[in-house]
């Protein structure tokens, strides 16, 4: 069930999950912000989720287009043949495999708020961060004015997090949910590239929340080193050609 969930997922997974064998495959690349949260949840509940290395920026094999017509990652292919695209859909499917999970909230309103936060981060926030980062790494043409605009718009979006976290520890309710896991994962590339020490001073609640979530056992199981840049990318043309992660 989605909402009747009295206990936290067990870190070693359930006996049923261990006996089930492979749950499926996830096509993604190493440390993908859109896949980290999915992999964290799967690991925490004992689901065997095989990672198939695939970086769309380097091209995808012909067979992949039948799995994901847009050629994007992540894509989930279940052992039962189910194919899912879009990170939020995959994350919900994986999380719902644990019948005792509390990661989907304790009420229907909690669940709605979880979807709201993940959707907001995966669209408005990620798009604004990408518009800031991509010109600085050579993925898109550089324009100082466009980078400054993206910086302002990213700050506007992150302010939503900062204001919400002033008087709370988690994004939804009083315990960890999928919103925290997926949003922190999605935001990790910002903290790895542009959210540096000086920038973080203006967002202490947001930055503290990110560090708290990323250092939880559920995240540390899949993230060996938490992305946290000291000096961010300068607003200047890149000095090296773009190289996909």
Question: Which uninterrupted H or E stretch holds 119?
Answer: helix 108-120
Q: Which fold has domain 22-97?
A: Glutaredoxin (3.40.30)
Give the Cα separation of 207 and 16 in Å (integer). Answer: 37
Express each pLDDT in 197-245 by its tens digit. 999 999 999 999 999 999 999 999 999 889 899 999 999 999 888 888 7
The pLDDT value given to residue 19: 52
- 199 backbone dihedrals φ, ψ, rounded to 5°: -65, -40
Indicate the domain borders of the chain: 22-97, 108-221
Same fold, 22-97 and 108-221: no
Which residues of the chain are modeled with pLDDT < 70?
1-20
The pLDDT value given to residue 20: 60
How many CA atoms are closer than 13 Å to the CA of 183, on its beta-carbon side?
31
Give the Cα separation of 54 and 222 in Å (integer). Answer: 18
The pLDDT value given to residue 14: 44
Q: What is the pTM of this model?
A: 0.90
- H helix runs in the chain, sequence order: 15-20, 33-44, 87-95, 108-120, 126-133, 144-164, 178-193, 197-200, 204-214, 217-220
Q: Which fold has domain 108-221?
A: Glutathione S-transferase Yfyf (Class Pi); Chain A, domain 2 (1.20.1050)
């Amino acid at each position: 069930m989605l909402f009747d969930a009295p206990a936290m997922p067990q870190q070693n997974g359930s006996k049923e999950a261990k006996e089930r064998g492979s749950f499926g495959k996830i096509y993604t690349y190493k440390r993908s912000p859109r896949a980290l949260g999915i992999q964290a949840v799967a690991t925490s509940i004992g689901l065997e989720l095989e990672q198939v290395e695939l970086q769309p920026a380097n091209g995808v094999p012909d067979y992949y287009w039948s799995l994901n017509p847009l050629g994007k990652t992540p894509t989930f292919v279940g052992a039962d043949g189910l194919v899912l695209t879009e990170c939020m859909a995959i994350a919900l499917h994986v999380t719902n495999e644990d019948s005792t999970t509390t990661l989907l909230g304790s009420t229907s309103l909690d669940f709605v708020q979880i979807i709201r936060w993940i959707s907001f981060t995966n669209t408005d926030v990620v798009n604004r961060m990408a518009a800031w980062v991509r010109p600085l790494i050579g993925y898109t043409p550089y324009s100082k004015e466009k980078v400054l605009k993206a910086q302002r718009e990213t700050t506007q979006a992150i302010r939503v997090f900062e204001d919400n976290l002033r008087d709370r520890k988690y994004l939804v309710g009083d315990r960890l949910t999928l919103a925290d896991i997926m949003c922190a994962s999605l935001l990790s590339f910002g903290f790895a590239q542009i959210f540096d020490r000086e920038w973080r001073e203006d967002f202490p609640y947001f930055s503290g929340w990110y560090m708290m979530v990323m250092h939880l056992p559920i995240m540390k199981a899949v993230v060996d080193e938490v992305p946290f840049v000291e000096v961010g990318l300068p607003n200047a043309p890149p000095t090296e050609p773009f190289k996909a992660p």
